Amino acid sequence: MIDISILETVAEISVALAGFAGIVATFQFREGDAPSAGKIVSLTIIVNMGLSAGMFAFLPLLLFSMTSNEAFVWFVSSYSLAMYMCYMMFFVQKNMHGKVRRHRVRVLFSTYQVISGLLIVLLLLNGANIGVERGLGPYLLTLLYGLYMVGTNFIRLLLSPLWKRYRETAK
């Protein structure tokens, strides 16, 4: 059996970040500036991945409450999270393609996409019990990566207006 407190903590953190992001975004977009595609994608990643990480953190717990078959629980959980990660990769690629001009940011987005792809493969291997021992490890790693994405996009969304004002006053 798994340690439930780890998954509960992931769920709590992800939902809290999604909530704070909604508050920050409400105040930012009220100022009259047209939001950029990057800010909209960042906000979508925060809210979507934040709430989804909470849901996916509880999915194994829900499944364990219905069955004691660990193989089934990790198969369903891993494949469900892999499908969601595929959706998010497609969403980011579709909405950011051609909108990122700086080389450094393009490399960063590409790196995130490659890491996401590798995690999808790891989840599929975990669900199929191929090469990795079926269990919490790959699943939790993917959830923590999602929290990292939520956190970095939250920081970006929170600090970008401050840096913008700083650059305007420094000129």
Question: Distance between CA 156 and CA 38 in Å, rounded?
Answer: 10
Is the pLDDT at 32 greater than 80? The verdict is no
Amino acid at 148: Y
What percent of the chain shows pLDDT beyond 70? 93
What's the farthest any 2 CA atoms get from each other in the chain? 64
Distance CA 6, CA 26 (A): 31
The predicted-structure confidence for 137-148, as pLDDT tens digits, reads as follows 899 999 999 899
Residue 64 has pLDDT above 80, yes or no: yes
Q: What angle do CA 97, 112, 35 make, to 5 degrees?
A: 50
What was the pLDDT predicted at 120? 96
| Section 87-92 average pLDDT | 88
